[in-house]
Amino acid sequence: MAGRWLVWRAGARWLAGATTLALAGFAQGAAPVADTVLLNGKVYTAEQAQPWADSVAIKDGRFVLVGEREAAQQWIGSGTVVRDLGGATVLPGLIDGHSHPGILSLFASTTLAVAPDSDPESLLDWLGDYAAENPDIPFIVAGFWRTGDFGVQGPDKALLDRVVPHRPLALLDDSGHSMWLNSRALAALGVDANTPDPAPGLAFYQRDEQGEPTGWVKEFATAPVQERVLRPQDTQLFKEHLADFLYYLSSQGVTGLYDGGNLWLHDTVYKALAELDGEGRLPLKYEGTVHVHLPHQIDSAVDELKRLRRRYGSERLRFNTIKIHFDGVHEIRTSAVLDDFADEPGNRGNTLVSQQRLTEFIRELHREKIDLHLHVVGDRATRIALDAYEAAGAQGWDYPRLTLCHLELVDDADIPRFAELGVIANFTPHWFGDLFQGGAQTLGERNNHKMRARSFDDAGATVTFSSDVVVPFERERANPFLGMQTGLTRQEPALGREGPVMAPAHERLSLDQLLQGYTLNGAYQFRQPERVGSIAVGKDADLVILADDLFAMDPYRIADTRVVGTMVDGQFITR
């Protein structure tokens, strides 16, 4: 599969015109010969001992020299491909520590309809028209409604019944963590007053005073709807959507990612990925997972991961991590918080399983040599996860390597514990421009102390970065350079330098911190620091060539950084 790949971008004509140089005076057999030599670049290695170089030599998919032009030229022989970079900036391949290519591509393969206006009245009018214009869709799935428009009790099925009375209808919210269902949809799922909540306080059916479901379904109580709707009718179409998104990531410099989960549709996703791998169309290193999103799934998660590994695993498609959706989100009051939600006294959210069960699971993962990745948004969820890891005796263990992702709200006392316990802190920097609305209503003053990645880094934690995109219209937000700009400014890139700064402003990250998180630290999370994450002799030749000087450009233009070449295992990626 190597040799088929080259990501082509505007301004990369030097790639098309690259020549193979044979040096007549090169003494045959006198020295090893590289497959590829890149000369005259501005190579950021991410290695502390040698942070910069201007040339590299590559043989058999690995770096064999990182240094100066004169040394690199010694590796040139008959058949060596030599490219003059002309001063272009080169970075190590970028690692996305948490994304959802499978879910995004499943959504792209459905009839998900997006309303042009989320205003409740306009949304309902549009839904009625959409249903009338599409009489053959048996189960309508559309988006998106704003959670902030309906208060603590949320929306009611009666409003949807008025506009779509005869077919099941499910509307996704703007947080991605709940749905609004009409009566027909609830009936199709067999949900009524007697249906137990999958995880009370986290994944549950909002109910009226008589215990009847109102139609607001939170967290993965929605899983039956999502899995029913997302199961692709055309698997080839799904596979092509998946390939398209992965090549998009590659075109933005991503050479490795961790899959944050696919509900219980993982066979659909990993079968397609294994096929792409076999066809030479998996353009990056991919860490798969089992996505535990309902309490009972934790009991079978280890066996399920082993099955996926046996069935689909390869050198490029690995399975070494289980992900648990441990709590919810602030916007719908399902995150596990230490103090009550500001607008709902008595509610502190909940976690998927208890601390004791999590501790037992961590010990099981230690025996099985499997890593763990937890979705934690609230400060109580983070504390429970850290307490469970500590109680399991995990300090000093090699397995499981624990990553806590999102970390929107964390108590000050818990930040130093990440370094003390060796826990990885994974953040999504494109959220740092205050992308999600509703936190001020549910958290009050706590909303001004979210997503403090710099404090974690300053406290010595290993910090990694991710995109966490789940639906097709978010695709461009998976661009790591957009994440870097937002991490630097804590302002939404679309609003420019005059946009509001997300508090606290002193949590703005440096470019060095961001690059560390996207490279070497990401490699550590992947358990591959000896292979990827930096440009160093002996490591896989994964790199990114830029048309722009990332280190000199205006921070408010970094989202527009142009990638002209992405290399994985010594080969440029091509579609």
Query: Whole-number mean pLDDT of the chain?
Result: 93
CA distances from 367 to 232, 299, 303, 400, 430 (A): 36, 15, 13, 9, 36
Flag whether pLDDT at 12 surpasses 80: no
Tokens matching residue 62: 């690995």
pLDDT at 229: 82
30 — pLDDT class (breaks 50, 70, 90): low
Alpha carbon distance 497, 556 (integer Å): 7
24 — pLDDT class (breaks 50, 70, 90): very low
Alpha carbon distance 285, 246 (integer Å): 10
Q: Which residues pair with 259 in a beta bridge?
A: 99
CA distances from 251 to 113, 380, 408 (A): 27, 38, 29
User: Do residues 556 and 492 lie in contact, with contact meaning Cβ atoms separated by under 8 Å?
Assistant: no
Tokens matching residue 491: 């302002």
Same fold, 110-230 and 236-532: no
Residues 6+ apart with CB under 8 A from 478: 96, 99, 245, 248, 249, 252, 254, 467, 469
Q: With DSSP H G I counted as helix, E B as strand and the rest as coil, what are the percentages for the chain, rounded to 5?
A: 35, 20, 40
Flag whether pLDDT at 168 surpasses 60: yes
Alpha carbon distance 523, 440 (integer Å): 35
Domain ranges of the chain: 1-92+533-575, 110-230, 236-532
28 — pLDDT class (breaks 50, 70, 90): very low
User: Do residues 321 and 370 lie in contact, with contact meaning Cβ atoms separated by under 8 Å?
Assistant: yes
Alpha carbon distance 153, 185 (integer Å): 19
Residues 6+ apart with CB under 8 A from 438: 147, 148, 175, 330, 331
Q: Lowest-pLDDT range, 141-150, 177-186, 250-259, 503-512? A: 141-150
Flag whether pLDDT at 29 surpasses 70: no
Q: Which residues pair with 31 in a beta bridge?
A: none
Task: Read off the DSSP letter of residue 344.
Answer: B
Alpha carbon distance 383, 421 (integer Å): 12
Flag whether pLDDT at 5 surpasses 50: no
25 vs 265: which has the higher pLDDT: 265
Q: Lowest-pLDDT range, 23-32, 83-92, 237-246? A: 23-32
pLDDT (tens digit, 9 = 90+) per residue, 393-409? 977 889 999 999 999 99
Q: Mean pLDDT, to the nearest integer, of 520-540?
A: 98
Is CATH 2.30.40.10 correct for 1-92+533-575?
yes
Answer CATH for 236-532 from 3.20.20.140, 3.20.20.70, 3.40.50.970, 3.30.43.10: 3.20.20.140
Omega into 400 within 30° of 0, i.e. cis? yes
17 — pLDDT class (breaks 50, 70, 90): very low
Flag whether pLDDT at 1 surpasses 90: no
pLDDT (tens digit, 9 = 90+) per residue, 461-519? 999 999 999 989 899 999 999 999 999 999 999 999 999 999 999 999 999 999 999 99
Q: Mean pLDDT, to the nearest integer, of 239-266?
A: 98
431 vs 112: which has the higher pLDDT: 431
CATH domain 110-230 topology:
Diaminopimelate Epimerase; Chain A, domain 1 (3.10.310)
pLDDT at 26: 38
